[in-house]
């Protein structure tokens, strides 16, 4: 993956840095990001669009992994940014990300969040439902400011992925459905509002998608409505945002397409459909999260206890688990791993990797082939860059790990490990108790 290699000592290196050095210096668990890999993925997307000579924006979906350094990197790479909460927006502002390239998503943006977005004058708000639309109308009116919006629609396309991360089907909490006329009603409301400018249409069909046809189908479904809106409302979008969801490789069973194939399919479909309507090709926007950062991330753990159940299974436990990677527990996601300090050793046993939480479901990997794993060895789990840190939690009061960026043989800590003090920093005693006085 990325710029991973094995050095003379048989250690895994990432971005030219020995992972054993990293684990010793920063402690474990540790998220290590191969910055070069993120740069390459961003360029791949951008070049795919350039090839087709269409106007485009590649927006990084910050939910995959958001922190100041990551947002700064996204800026440097010329990406736009999709945020989906006040917290993500705040992080982007702290990082100095250009507001005009920020897009705001979410199925329940609060009035405070909408106000923050309007006040900061961000690039656009992706309107998801009538509730927020009415808030947005009132707010822009009372603040006497204009706002560009996209309207999120559910194109009725089923992405063949895990149910929890599939979003394009009609029965979804996100967006306006096309069949009932709700999207049309929302569009009319926006078009007739003085302070809102309907810049375009948004759809996101799901996540970890391996078939480019899903995007093609979405484009076709959207254009059926566009044809109708053009005729009935005299509306045609300047922007077509087709969301994210491009699949990545977690393990041997995953066969992601080269990124350009997704773009080829969606752009060609948009060109063909626009031509049928005799209209220009809208600017095409996408919002990859996982595809930009997923494979760039590796988590390093220290191996602790071992439990052999004769003729049944060997459990090898590591010093993290569902607190830093909830995906196996939540989506039955599968990962691959090696022993970072024995990267060149022969795999001689099959073990299962357990996390340290008090929960039987806290298993990271079942039936993994490894060289003999000893207490103190470092386990490197690959492709943990997306929805790892961003979904990390403090269950069992376990500390969130540190995050390190590596590139060209250099390493920088971009998020410190949490401390025990962090755990209780915002807590107070209950004043009605008299057992603990001081
Ligand atoms: N745009 C929108 C509107 C989204 O809802 C999402 C993801 C993305 C873009 C980025 O999707 P990506 O390119 O990363 O697949 N926690 C789950 C994934 C949830 C995705 C939510 N929305 C997981 O760990 O698989």
For ligand 1, the distance from its centroid to the CA atom of residue 233, given in whole angstroms, is 32
Q: Are 136 and 125 in contact (CB under 8 A)?
A: yes
Q: 157-161, 282-286, 358-362 — which is least confidently predicted?
A: 157-161
Q: Residue 179: what pLDDT?
A: 84
Q: Which domains are present in the chain?
A: 5-33+295-424 (2.40.37.10), 35-293 (3.20.20.10)
Mutate to test the pocket of ligand 1, among 166, 244, 326 (most ligand atoms within 8 A of CB): 244
Which residue has 């298993």 as its token pair?
363
pTM to 2 decimals?
A: 0.96
Q: Residue 337: what pLDDT?
A: 98
The 10s digit of each residue's pLDDT in 54-63 is 999 999 999 9
* Angstrom distance (rounded) from CA 18 to CA 4: 10
* 321 is known to lie in a ligand binding site: no
Burial (0-12, 13-18, 19+ Cβ within 10 Å), 344: middle
* 361 is known to lie in a ligand binding site: no
Q: Which residues are catalytic?
A: 358
Q: Tell me the ipTM for this assembly.
A: 0.99
The 10s digit of each residue's pLDDT in 3-21 is 899 999 999 999 999 999 9
| Statement: residue 27 has pLDDT above 90 | yes
Nearest-CA residue for ligand 1 atom 5 is: 204
Name every protein residue with a CB atom under 6 angstroms from any ligand 1 atom.
Answer: 61, 63-64, 82, 105, 165, 204, 207-208, 243-246, 287-291, 327, 331, 386-387
The 10s digit of each residue's pLDDT in 76-111 is 999 999 999 999 999 999 999 999 999 999 999 999
* Angstrom distance (rounded) from CA 84 to CA 61: 9
For ligand 1, the distance from its centroid to the CA atom of residue 39, given in whole angstroms, is 20
The 10s digit of each residue's pLDDT in 233-258 is 999 999 999 999 999 999 999 999 99
Instruction: Work out the pLDDT band at 172, boundaries 50, 70, 90.
Output: confident
Residue 206 DSSP class: B
* 327 is known to lie in a ligand binding site: yes
């Amino acid at each position: 993956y990325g710029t991973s290699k094995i050095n003379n000592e048989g250690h895994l290196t990432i971005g030219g840095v020995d992972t054993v050095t990293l684990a010793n210096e920063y402690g474990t668990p540790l998220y290590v990001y191969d910055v070069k890999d993120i740069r390459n993925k961003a360029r791949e997307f951008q070049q795919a669009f350039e090839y087709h000579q269409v106007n485009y924006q590649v927006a990084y979906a910050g939910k995959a992994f958001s922190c100041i350094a990551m947002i700064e990197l996204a800026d440097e790479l010329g990406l736009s940014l999709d945020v989906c909460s006040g917290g993500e927006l705040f992080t982007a502002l702290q990082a100095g990300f250009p507001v005009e390239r920020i897009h705001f998503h979410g199925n329940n943006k609060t009035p405070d969040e909408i106000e923050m977005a309007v006040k900061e004058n961000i690039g656009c708000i992706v309107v998801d439902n009538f509730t927020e639309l009415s808030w947005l109308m009132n707010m822009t009116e009372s603040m006497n400011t204009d706002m560009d919006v996209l309207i999120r629609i559910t194109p009725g396309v089923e992405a063949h992925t895990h149910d929890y991360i599939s979003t394009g089907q009609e029965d979804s909490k996100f967006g306006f459905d096309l069949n009932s006329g709700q999207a049309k009603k929302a569009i009319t409301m926006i078009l007739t509002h003085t302070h809102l400018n309907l810049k375009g249409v948004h759809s996101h069909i799901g996540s970890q998608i391996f078939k480019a046809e899903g995007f093609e189908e979405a484009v076709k479904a959207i254009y059926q409505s566009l044809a109708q809106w053009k005729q009935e409302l005299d509306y045609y979008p300047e922007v077509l945002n087709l969301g994210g969801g491009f699949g990545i490789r977690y393990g041997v069973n995953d066969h992601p397409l080269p990124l350009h194939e997704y773009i080829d399919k969606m752009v060609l479909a948009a060109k063909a459909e626009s031509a049928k309507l005799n209209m220009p090709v809208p600017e095409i926007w996408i919002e990859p999260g996982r595809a930009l950062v997923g494979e760039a991330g590796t988590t390093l753990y220290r191996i602790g206890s071992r439990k052999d159940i004769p003729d049944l299974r060997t459990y090898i436990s590591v010093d993290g688990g569902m607190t830093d990677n909830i995906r196996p527990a939540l989506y039955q996601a599968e990962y691959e791993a090696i022993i970072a300090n024995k990267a060149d050793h022969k795999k001689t046993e099959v073990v299962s990797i357990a996390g340290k939480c008090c929960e039987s479901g806290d298993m990271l990997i079942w039936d993994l082939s490894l060289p003999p794993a000893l207490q103190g060895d470092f386990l490197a789990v690959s492709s943990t860059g997306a929805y790892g840190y961003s979904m990390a939690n403090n269950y069992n009061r376990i500390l969130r790990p540190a995050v390190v960026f590596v590139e060209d043989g250099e390493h920088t800590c971009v998020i410190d490990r949490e401390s025990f003090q962090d755990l209780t920093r915002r807590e107070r005693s209950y004043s009605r108790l008299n057992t603990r006085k001081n």
